[in-house]
A and B are shown apart, each in its own frame.
Chain A
């Protein structure tokens, strides 16, 4: 394989062979000797006190090895699950942080809450015995709706938060914003429900822990997006184990979308239990358990207003949001509706004044945390629905109103804390308008009308903050962890390379994208590089994959390590070629002395480093192995414009997406094939939120009504069209690859585009997501009645 620049090339994925042949290794595929199985007894009630647990019968059931409850964990000094982000409220007080026990301590707070674990020789035996664990509950009233949580007399979940409020947090200058609204030419107002979603990665969560008594060490295989973070949180905060005695392996992971970032009760309990019974303990979620106990996403209630002048210039924005945290604070729950939400409310626009107040509440529901986009889809929905509605109200073309307000000079400091480094919003909008053939829309609308269909078109011009995050900035905002990434480049004596990254791939294709970066920089073949991730014993450290950070932060860490490898290589080469260090150049895999024909290939330098016979041992260590930690200096700001076209069947209310155009600016693109795949997936999740997906709990009983795929509607192939994609490129200014990240864009921009199109088709001001056929039909019926009246 010759030296070749693979950046920007759609090379086929290195990981695909194993997945296509069934040779992937997901956590549940791992089988250890003497393995046992865990079944979790879960609360059938949304809210109850536990009066008594009797495990005698369960303990006598066939195959049962142990039954543990919260009492056992307390006796063993197992602590609660921590929250990784401290939000400080408007009064300067820390958020309310109720205890989050891995197994209930006398009280359960949502259906699915963990009560006990049964461990047996087989899973079915554990499950059979689980039904024999007698739990005496005193049922308490429950509150599940965000809107009900703070009502007077609402059931209280936690004593530390008597009004069910975790925090009230605000960003922006309220007085200045209010003043502008008081005298604005036009104000557009909307009330939004950002519907609660269940992530539903197709691989259910799973954990398999084993304990090695001889070494007093543990190994945990777990479906995780960030094994080092999982280990750190578990050892330092929950189990009090020595971190170096715990190995966490996140092998092949079947999708995450945020839901596998967190430290979950099951992970902690099987790890602890593996020592108690001195045998490996495996737990794999059934899908119904995933519905109950995976962290959910979104669940906001928002009132938002946009003030405009007579030319359609945005003057100010005012947003009030109540966001559900669920029953307990999941690992990053608190930062989602604040740091990752309010800071994005400027969108792509020069709106000079923005104020946002967020109230986070506890409800008797599963914990809510980051789900693909995490805060940014909610922000984009608010901004882009307001903007499109404002355009309709003041009768401006929706593309034109956006153009009038675009940020055009960079860097740009928004009024909500972010500093956009670069972008070209006109370029993405212009391309989207062209690609979507907006000019031909009215003819298409007429043609649809002739077929009895209602056709509508809507835009969304989104922005996101990715590449999280500068650790010091995150720290000042309450993060309890750093957000750098680590990478190690191990050059073998033959010049082959193994790279260890703290990023984790669960579908993103890092084994290919990162290898492209490495191969291109070192001028070696793609097959000469392997990327290793997901194992705390092999990878030096890692913060993991979420927030579209992998290439921007993890990729940069690798580049930094590569820089060190090349720098050292130059010194070795200089010695070999008897030249001065400064005269050695490295291009296309070859070290050359500038201006001469002297050269040594990369592999020869590698060999010299490991067989240092002719080597500058007096000033250089042997070996060629470098690592780097990279802490970004800013967020990255992918942005783009989406145009959605829908057709509604007025007889049934069914909506079909007939065309969807996405023009994104992700900065430099390493592998356009993989990037397009990320966009397709994100768009489909966004379309799912807009039209299909809705997590519902019964308002009285707190039972999860959408607890299976029979009731929770996942997008299928016939729900979405083939997408029209294009990219524009303004390279990120503060990382060496110029990359911004692409994993979440689709899910961020799509909901607003779909709903803008749908409200256009129906001629209604607003419609709640998901716009199910019945909701659309009702909206049309109401419109008919209004007309008749």
Chain B
């Protein structure tokens, strides 16, 4: 049995026939071919699959595509400007060397943008506590914390 699902992804409407058991992340990666959203675990711990759904960060590996019916999604591919100019948070990650292998990075950036939107004053402790849904094995978080702090500041100004 297949079902029909429609949503808006990075500003573009999409409609597709899917198996009900299709995970949102598989839909995004395999059907929409937006491969910037990654899968790093199968227990919703690592956060590499973080996207924004209706303005809120979610782990799309832990959702059925049907749960996004009618939703507005933004993936990492939808963050930079149309001309390719990086979003301030992406820029901050580059400036502060907040990424190494790049695999957790899309999820980390999506989480960081969400974090910066919700807090007006981000301390190191808050950033560390609120990044608990994203695992990075490369950076030791040191530079990610700096990047989030700097990116948030630019986003506010």
Chain A–chain B contact at Cβ < 8 A: yes
B128 at the interface (CB under 8 A from A): yes
A744 → B minimal CB distance (Å): 13
Q: Which residues of A contact B35 (CB under 8 A)?
A: 22, 25-26, 28-29
* A interface residues, how many (CB within 8 angstroms): 60
Q: Which residues of B contact A722 (CB under 8 A)?
A: 124, 142, 145-146
- CB pair B42–A718 under 8 Å, yes or no, is no
Q: Which residues of B contact A201 (CB under 8 A)?
A: 101, 103, 137
Q: A23-B36, A24-B36, A29-B35 are in contact. Are A509 and B128 (CB under 8 A)?
A: no
- CB pair B34–A22 under 8 Å, yes or no, is yes
* In the bound complex, CA of A255 to CA of B140 (Å): 13
CB < 8 Å neighbour of A12 from B19, B41, B95: B95
- CB pair B137–A257 under 8 Å, yes or no, is yes
Stretch from B1-9, B52-60, B73-81 at the A interface = B73-81
Q: Which residues of B contact A718 (CB under 8 A)?
A: 128-129, 131-132
* In the bound complex, CA of A31 to CA of B41 (Å): 20
- CB pair B90–A21 under 8 Å, yes or no, is yes
Interface residue ranges of B120-157 to A (CB < 8 Å): 124, 127-129, 131-132, 134-146
- CB pair B94–A253 under 8 Å, yes or no, is no
Stretch from A146-154, A373-381, A448-456, A679-687 at the B interface = A679-687
- CB pair B80–A683 under 8 Å, yes or no, is no
Q: Which residues of A contact B46 (CB under 8 A)?
A: 202, 287, 709
CB < 8 Å neighbour of A254 from B101, B124, B141: B101
Q: Which residues of B contact A710 (CB under 8 A)?
A: 43, 45
A610 at the interface (CB under 8 A from B): no
B interface residue count range (under 10 / 10 to 19 / 20 to 34 / 35 or more): 35 or more
Closest A residue by C-beta to B125 = A718
Closest A residue by C-beta to B33 = A31
- CB pair B97–A674 under 8 Å, yes or no, is yes
* In the bound complex, CA of A590 to CA of B135 (Å): 47
* In the bound complex, CA of A717 to CA of B144 (Å): 9
Q: A202-B136, A680-B143 are in contact. Are A673 and B97 (CB under 8 A)?
A: yes
- CB pair A507–B100 under 8 Å, yes or no, is yes
- CB pair B132–A716 under 8 Å, yes or no, is yes
The contact sample of 6 A-B pairs, CB cut-off 8 A, is A13-B97, A20-B109, A23-B36, A202-B104, A715-B140, A716-B132
Name 19 extra pairs, CB < 8 A, besides A255-B101, A677-B139, A685-B140.
Answer: A13-B94, A16-B99, A19-B106, A20-B99, A20-B105, A22-B106, A202-B137, A203-B38, A255-B138, A287-B41, A287-B42, A677-B142, A681-B140, A685-B137, A708-B41, A708-B42, A714-B135, A715-B140, A746-B140
Which chain A residues have a beta carbon within 8 Å of chain B's beta carbons? 12-13, 15-26, 28-29, 31, 124, 199-204, 252-255, 257, 284, 286-288, 506-509, 673-674, 676-677, 679-685, 708-710, 714-718, 720, 722-723, 746
Which chain B residues have a beta carbon within 8 Å of chain A's beta carbons? 19, 21, 29-30, 33-43, 45-46, 48, 75-77, 79-80, 84, 86, 90, 93-95, 97, 99-106, 109, 124, 127-129, 131-132, 134-146
A-B interface, 9 closest residue pairs, ranked by CB to CB distance from nearest = A22-B36, A254-B103, A19-B102, A507-B101, A684-B140, A680-B140, A507-B100, A22-B76, A709-B45
